[in-house]
Structure 1
Amino acid sequence: MRFGKIQYLNLIPFDVFLKSYPIPTRYKSAAFANRSYPSKLNQSFLFHRIDAGFISTIAGATAHRKHKATQAGIIAKGAVWSVLSLESSFANGDSALLKKHRLSPSASLVLGSHSLESTFEKVDSRVDCHATAHAAARNDNKTAQSKNADSSPQAQSPQKDYQSDTSNALSTVLNLHGRVLIGDRALQYRFNGGKAIDMGQVWWEKHRLPFVFGRLCYNSYGEFYNNIARAFVKKRVKIPHYILQARAKACGIPPHYIREYLAHIHYHIHAKERVGLERFYRALRLKAIKPPSRIYPRNVDSSKCTPNTPYKRQL
């Protein structure tokens, strides 16, 4: 049996649970062998290179439809801390959320005034006042048209995270246009004081429903994985101190901060979580967002992509 697991801090409880679960050691070894970031595991799942795993919600749409998804998932009811939109703004002028997240809708007007001043400075002083006014008005009109084009949803598509599929789609669904950052890198960014919008929080404010970021899905051995999922969501897992210390050292995040982070996540898909899933799938259809395909992005060298590489801000 081939199992794939997301190599993020949010699945530490599942690691601890699986070590104590009564299955042969060879199965446990298989479960810990295939670890990577979500988009890579999605490809492995679609190609049937793994029998089961925690798959991104968007990639698990077919499994959901075919009833090949368990009731175990990675869920947040509000802020999740590890799915962020950096330097983001909202489309279509959602004034309430703009005010709440301190995003200024007048930024484009300020930029427009600066560009207008620069236009006047470049006008030849020898031209008479009427010609100057006409040229300035024409240039200002072009500037306004270009800014309107840049502010359209098509022009400001979110900058995607190569490790993500669901969060990239969620950013589009929520009309966010900033850089998407997920997983341990996002948690490191937040811990170091980085400013960003928490997508889990925005989803909750819009829909008042939990969001399922990933789900335990399977291609085969359905009964076996359903039993594991049922046992996992029923058990309250206590993380040993030595495991927490080891993961904290590897990620550069204090243990107490990891505990606070895990308190924002739960794993049992109930009725409200299922409603949230259907709401998200409906939004994908309305936005014409396609689920990931079997074609892996050619511009990404997967051998150099590690799940816990810290995010480096581009200057």
Structure 2
Amino acid sequence: MIFGKIDYINLLPLHFYLKSSKLPSYIKKSIEYKKDVPAKLNKALKEKRLDCAIISSIESKRSKYKNLNIGICANKKVLSVLVEKNSNAQNDKESATSNALAKVLKLNGKVIIGDKALKEYVNNKEKYIDMCEKWYELTKLPFMFARFSSIKNHNSAKRILKPFIRKNLTANQRIKIPNYILDYYSNTRKISNDDIKNYLKYIYYKIGKKELKALSIYTKKIYI
């Protein structure tokens, strides 16, 4: 099974779960080898160079994919999907969902996502608009930024990931990230351990009725 990986802090709990699981070593190695930004994973899955991956939620709507109710979700705030105030309109090349969301929200400015966005936010949040916050103001719903999709080996992926959701239903149940992993991401992303841990409080992974409703509304707004 060829498993794609978004190498962002928001998926640290999933990465650690997979790393510490009893998966065959060849699958773990393929996950590390096939890590990239969302837009490139979208393309890789579409071209069948991957069996499965967490991809942009807008891309996951394609009929060719089977989806699990696992993704990257946030409610009210996300801290890492931003539009820079008083800037010229510019898409983030790493994204698909967030670029479209900026248009839905009628936000004109530079879109910035992922760990680089989180770093900017914690250093100077007054400079940015949190798109999840704006989405909640508009809809009173959470937002699904990405979703686990597969084009092959869907049942195997489902079996592997089902326990992950059970372990992450509430903040108290969430997988704890070891300090050595936090230190690595803190050093490589230039974001403090405390800011990483605070950020992960805003992220959750179980997709339910509200998240699916939000995706449906978002998709319809894109094509109006």
**SS of match in other structure, 1:23:** coil
The 5-angstrom pairing of residues 51-130 of structure 1 reads: 51-62=51-62, 65=63, 68-87=66-85
Q: Does 1:224 align with 2:162?
A: no
Contact 2:65 2:149 (C-alpha < 8 Å) held by counterparts: no
**SS of match in other structure, 1:227:** helix
CA gap of 1:45–1:66, structure 2 versus 1, over 3 A, is closer
Contact 2:72 2:203 (C-alpha < 8 Å) held by counterparts: yes
User: For 2:64 and 2:159, how far apart are their aligned partners in 1?
Assistant: 18
Q: Unaligned stretches of 5+ in structure 2?
A: 168-173
Contact 1:216 1:229 (C-alpha < 8 Å) held by counterparts: no
Contact 1:88 1:176 (C-alpha < 8 Å) held by counterparts: no
Report the counterpart of residue 96 of structure 1 in structure 2: none
Contact 2:65 2:150 (C-alpha < 8 Å) held by counterparts: no
Report the counterpart of residue 171 of structure 2 in structure 1: none
- Deviation, 1:231, is 1.5
Report the counterpart of residue 30 of structure 2 in structure 1: 30
**SS of match in other structure, 1:176:** coil
What TM-score does the superposition give when structure 1 sets the normalisation length?
0.67
Q: Unaligned stretches of 5+ in structure 1?
A: 90-155, 287-315
CA gap of 1:88–1:74, structure 2 versus 1, over 3 A, is farther
Report the counterpart of residue 187 of structure 1 in structure 2: 118
**SS of match in other structure, 2:95:** coil
Deviates more, 1:224-233 or 1:32-41: 224-233
User: For 2:91 and 2:10, how far apart are their aligned partners in 1?
Assistant: 21
Report the counterpart of residue 15 of structure 1 in structure 2: 15
Report the counterpart of residue 6 of structure 2 in structure 1: 6
User: For 2:41 and 2:68, how far apart are their aligned partners in 1?
Assistant: 17
**Percent identity between the two aligned chains:** 38
Task: Render the CA deviation track for 1:7-58: whole Å, top value 9, x for unaligned.
Answer: 1110110111001222211111111211111111111111111111010011
Report the counterpart of residue 105 of structure 2 in structure 1: 174
User: For 1:46 and 1:178, how far apart are their aligned partners in 2?
Assistant: 29
**Paired letter, 1:228:** I
CA gap of 1:227–1:88, structure 2 versus 1, over 3 A, is farther
Runs of 4+ residues over 4 Å off in structure 1 = none
Report the counterpart of residue 116 of structure 1 in structure 2: none
Contact 2:51 2:153 (C-alpha < 8 Å) held by counterparts: yes
Task: Render the CA deviation track for 1:172-201: whole Å, top value 9, x for unaligned.
Answer: 011100100000110111122151100000
- The structure richer in strand per residue is 2
Contact 2:56 2:147 (C-alpha < 8 Å) held by counterparts: yes
Report the counterpart of residue 211 of structure 1 in structure 2: 143
Count residues with an aligned counterpart.
Answer: 217
**SS of match in other structure, 1:28:** helix
Report the counterpart of residue 42 of structure 1 in structure 2: 42
Q: Which has the higher contact order (CA 8 A, sep 6+)?
A: 1
What TM-score does the superposition give when structure 2 sets the normalisation length?
0.93
User: For 1:240 and 1:159, how far apart are their aligned partners in 2?
Assistant: 36
